[in-house]
Amino acid sequence: MSIHILAIESSCDETAAAVCRDGQILSNIIASQSIHELYGGVVPELASRAHMENIVWVVDKAIKDAGIQLSDLDAIAFTQAPGLIGSLIVGAQFAKSLSLSLDKPLISVHHMQAHVLANLIPGKKPSFPFLCLTVSGGHTQIVLCESPAQMNILGETIDDAAGEAFDKSAKLLGLPYPGGPLIDRYATDGDPDRFHFPETKVPGLNFSFSGLKTAILYFLQNAGKSLVYKEQFLASEQEKKEFIDSNLPDICASVQKTIVDMLLNKLKKAVDETGVKEVCLAGGVSANKGLRETFRRMGEQEGWATYIPSFEYCTDNAAMIAMTAYYKFLEKDFASLDISPSARAVW
Ligand code: KG4
Ligand code: ZN
């Protein structure tokens, strides 16, 4: 007998639903919310409303594309935490209602655990134990994954996430939200060694990215006239604009290189300390070409086996929620109907 699971993801600004059969993804639907571009970032209230508008058709399409009926489902899974509370509530309430009306078990999934387990979606898969660098708009973590259920966070950001570092740098360059993919695109034609930004050093396996944002701010305010990252504003607004316009690819490539080096130096440290050489990427920032290439090259040099989920499973999606739910289903790890979503649940 096959196990069919419907999974719903609504933690931020993507309304997503997926169906898996015995751990194989049958459908993966994502509705992105472009409204936030107008505001330069995600507006929580607008995100909740857009989830309410999208969720019925997104779930309907996931069921239809999977070629199954609602009555074929064996469980309903949803992202319980972490995320924007209003957004999480929409997905949680929908999943609970469906679970109640179909009389099928409910499975609650932690979003960050699911990002890690996106690496187990069929294809080339790591074996346990493996290390995973999860880099998204809200999180930056190095996780030691012993089994689908057992994960230890070895290090994480103490301030901004890697995705925020990309997005905030892009904003300073006048690029629209989300700027990470745009920095990636401009960086392709740029010289990554043209400008040097200071890397914040933090002890252990933790990260810090907020200093980079300030360094870029001061660098731009000096329009390349000084490479000293001090609060001395030598350039006019016009000069700053002209400097950005004529150097955008090199600035993007240099910013990207700084972020990638900060991430991968810590990942290498984690491999050296644990001796685990099965190494994965996860999260939206792992779509970044510079990160993917440098990660693969580092893996070859260091003798690691490296894994990166395909693009559609890197950014927020419900297939990773379905995959995680499948392992929970096998353990009969079900949630009761009185479970509440949580913006910041401990993992
Ligand atoms: O995992 P994700 O889709 O959502 C969260 O859970 O946060 O990650 C979104 C983040 C955003 O900060 C976005 O700018 C970044 O991933 N991102 C990228 C790229 N694609 C998405 N950053 C750099 N280069 C990219 N190609
Ligand atoms: Zn995410």
**Which atom in ligand 1 lies closest to the alpha carbon of residue 314?**
1
Distance CA 263, CA 206 (A): 10
Distances (CA, A) of 312 to 83, 187, 317, 340: 20, 21, 7, 28
Model confidence, pTM = 0.93
Atom 24 in ligand 1: which residue has the minimum CA distance? 288
**Strand arrangement of the beta sheet that strand 14-21 belongs to:** 24-32, 14-21, 4-9, 75-81, 106-110
Closest CA to 161 of 100, 104, 112, 231: 112
Q: What is the DSSP letter of 336?
A: P
**Torsion, Cα of 322, 327, 332, 336 (10° steps):** -40
Angle at CA 286, nearest 5°, toward 280 and 137?
A: 120
What is the full per-residue pLDDT of the chain (347 aa) written as tens digits? 899 999 999 998 889 999 999 999 999 999 987 877 777 777 888 889 999 999 999 999 999 999 999 999 999 999 999 999 999 999 999 999 999 999 999 999 999 999 999 999 978 899 999 999 999 998 999 999 999 999 999 999 999 999 999 999 999 999 998 899 999 999 999 999 999 998 888 999 999 999 999 899 989 988 877 655 566 667 888 889 999 999 999 999 999 999 999 999 999 999 999 999 999 999 999 999 999 999 999 999 999 999 999 989 999 999 999 999 999 999 999 999 999 999 987 76
End-to-end CA distance of the chain: 32
Instruction: Give me 279's structure tokens.
Output: 């190494």
Instruction: Give me 217's structure tokens.
Output: 């701010």
Distance CA 307, CA 124 (A): 7
Q: Which residues have any ligand 1 atom within 6 Å of their CB?
A: 12, 136-138, 163, 166-167, 178, 180-181, 184, 283-285, 287-288, 315-316
Residues, Cβ < 5 Å to ion ligand 2:
136, 316
Which residues have C-beta within 8 Å of that of residue 299, sequence separation ≥ 6? 279, 305, 306
